[in-house]
Amino acid sequence: MSRPRKIALVGNPNAGKSALFNALTGARQKIANYPGVTVERKSGRLVLPTGEPVELTDLPGAYGLDATSPDEEVTSKVIRGQFPGEAEPDVLVIVLDASNLEQHLVFAQELLALGKPTVIALNMVDLAERDGLVLDPSVLEEELGVRVVPTVAVRRRGLTELAEAASSAGLREPGPSLTEIGETERRVAAHAMANGAILSETRQRRLHARLDSVLLNPWAGPVVLFALLFVIFQAVFAWATPFADALEAGVGALHDTVTGLMPASFVRDLLTEGIISGVGSVVVFLPQIVILFAFILAMEASGYMARAAFLMDRMMASVGLSGRSFIPLLSSFACAIPGIMATRSITDPKDRLTTILIAPMMTCSARLPVYAVIIAAFIPNESVGWGVGLQGLVLFALYVAGVLGAMLVALILRRSVTKGAASGFIMELPKYQLPRPGDLLLGLWQRAWIFLRRAGTIIFMVTVVLWIMLSFPRAEPGQSQVDASFAGKIANGLAVVVEPIGFNRDMALALIPAMAAREVAVSSLATTYAVDASDEDEEAAELGEQLKGRWTLPMALAFLAWFVFAPQCMSTIAVTRRETNGWKWPTFMLAYLFGLAYVAAGATYWLAVWAGL
Ligand SMILES: Nc1nc2c(ncn2[C@@H]2O[C@H](COP(=O)(O)OP(=O)(O)OP(=O)(O)O)[C@@H](O)[C@H]2O)c(=O)[nH]1
Ligand SMILES: [Mg+2]
């Protein structure tokens, strides 16, 4: 006697497969309203309306046949007939959540491409209707070429029709496979199909769908994303100016007050030249940090960030990374450390390593003070037309340079050191929401506090140590204090190395303490120029004014280019060592990033000199 035919229930997590399985077989598989309830396959007996006994299998939910987790692997193996001791299923029942159709149709297309006899259970139509969504199954039948049966598993609605359809499902032409049609195309197709099947829906749902049809559109989507980023960088300069000016005036007033109140002494110099000039020069960038994070937090809370990840998927794939790298890389815009830790969610080890290695090139918020001080001093605050400010444009270009550098390096690494193929990426797109002001304020407060705490601890300490090293030994009359000091001697040694890329002694001097944290480059320059100042007025002058008098434009541009790439952060190196279990990769990272920074700064300097800037 031939074995009974096998029918498998398959689909995205939380579609109601186990609920259908229970309803059809009378079993009591656990069901619950979250993805990933079923993690093993389970079989039961079902007698079809024709009287034919069949074996029905419930499978773990999956997002695709390229398994990324052990439970998905079970599903993938059973479907392909590679599961030990288990025959390949004869018929597939794809279970879709009717209220989440677009998402679920992505995996459905991949399953249909197998060409097996298939029927679709359009499950949870009760929930869809409750939310004001009415669907036309015949449109889906036409598009997908298989029977589509509306069901409500928990009320046993549509079960007989589903069983009948499954028993009569025949072989079909296999559709295009994943290698022929990429992830993004499938999503676009799923979007079109889901929209086509919708007869009516409430205004809210329609609005969100319309938003998605623009924001996820392969052409309009990237334009909107790019425009949004552009606005953010304009705002970082334009909106922050009044607040930054007020803070700067406050730091200047504090400097003057302390100078006036205290007699000239070692302690007064430490306070004014070291702490107030140095730490103050960093603190004035608080408004910029807050504005940048206001945008980032709002994008996260609204659900737009997940869409941005989806848009970037294609670009990531073209350099051999998966979309899974997007969130870790995105967190690296705040700081590379949480970014590198977030790579733990990447399953493929080489994918993960590549992401770790390029994470430091995402412009972290510690670079913002460095960029902002140089841009404010050297890039004129003028419009390039259409209300676009030149300063914001340069800042935007620096961020883009980091991203492009990272993509280029990823491309090279994926073809050499971390060779491997890119894996697919599917993420549930969250529902749109208006960010709640309370959450936003809390998030901003946390970011501001992190920034101020850094200024009060690491930046403070490094600045004090630097001031002491700059102040001793004391200079002979007529000699420059900086040249005479310990720090100056070290800097003069290092200056030989960075002279070819246009850096002077003061820039070289800023690089060493900036290894502790990038913002220290700013406080170091401020402290150096305060120590070097010939009188108190000059000592209290804003750092920008000092820079303008001492650096040329090509030097300033070279310094910016250096900071796009240079791995100026001990903590990042330490966390890389921990996450990669050894010194090999952090050493590699240091070497290639310093190399890149050197070349980029040199090229920028000489190009600028050549262009007569
Ligand atoms: N209202 C309604 N709820 C349903 C329907 N089908 C399933 N559910 C509920 O949806 C939730 C998910 O159902 P499950 O059967 O656990 O989903 P699954 O596809 O097996 O999920 P995984 O095992 O995680 O892959 C449960 O809370 C079910 O009670 C339906 O047709 N209508
Ligand atoms: Mg289940």
Q: Are 592 and 409 within 8 A, CB to CB? A: yes
CA–CA separation, 116 and 452 (whole Å): 61
Residue 54 is predicted with a pLDDT of 94
pLDDT, tens digit (0-9, with 9 covering 90-100), for 224-253: 998 998 888 888 878 888 898 899 899 989
Residues 6+ apart with CB under 8 A from 493: none
Give residue 433's identity as a one-letter amino acid code: Q
- Going by CA atoms, what residue is nearest to atom 7 of ligand 1? 16
CA of 494 to the centre of ligand 2 (A): 63
**Cα(16) to centroid(ligand 1), Å:** 3
Crossing angle between the packed helical segments 584-610 and 349-358, to the nearest 10 degrees: 40
Both structure tokens of 515: 């290894």
Q: Kindly give the number of the ligand 1 atom that is closest to the alpha carbon of 127.
A: 1
Predicted local confidence at residue 365, as pLDDT: 87
At 33, list the tokens: 């309203």
Query: How many angstroms separate the alpha carbon of residue 37 from the centre of ligand 2?
Result: 5
ipTM value: 0.98
The residue to mutate among 9, 10, 18, having the most atoms of ligand 1 within 8 angstroms of its beta carbon, is 18
95-117 mean pLDDT: 91
Whole-number Å distance, alpha carbon 318 to ligand 1 midpoint, is 36
Task: Give the number of whichever ligand sits closest to the CA of residue 130.
Answer: 1
Indicate the Cα dihedral angle 100, 104, 109, 111, nearest 10°.
-150
Atom of ligand 1 nearest to the CA of 36: 24
Atom of ligand 1 nearest to the CA of 38: 23
Question: How far is the centre of ligand 1, averaged over its atoms, from the C-alpha of 27 (Å)?
Answer: 14
Ligand positioned closest to the Cα atom of 157: 1
Q: Report the predicted TM-score, pTM, of the whole model to 2 decimal places.
A: 0.66
The residues near 65 (Cβ < 8 Å, ≥ 6 apart) are 75, 76, 79, 80, 110, 111, 178
**Where does ligand 1 bind, in terms of residues with CB under 6 Å?**
13-19, 31-33, 35-38, 60-61, 123-124, 126-127, 152-154
Ligand 1 center to 21 CA (angstroms) = 10
Distance CA 562, CA 553 (A): 14
Ligand 1 atom, smallest distance to 157 CA = 31
Task: State how far the Cα of 568 lies from the Cα of 307, in Å rounded to an integer.
Answer: 32
**Over the stretch 22-77, which tens digit does the pLDDT of each residue have?**
999 988 877 755 555 577 889 999 999 899 999 999 999 888 888 776 778 889 99
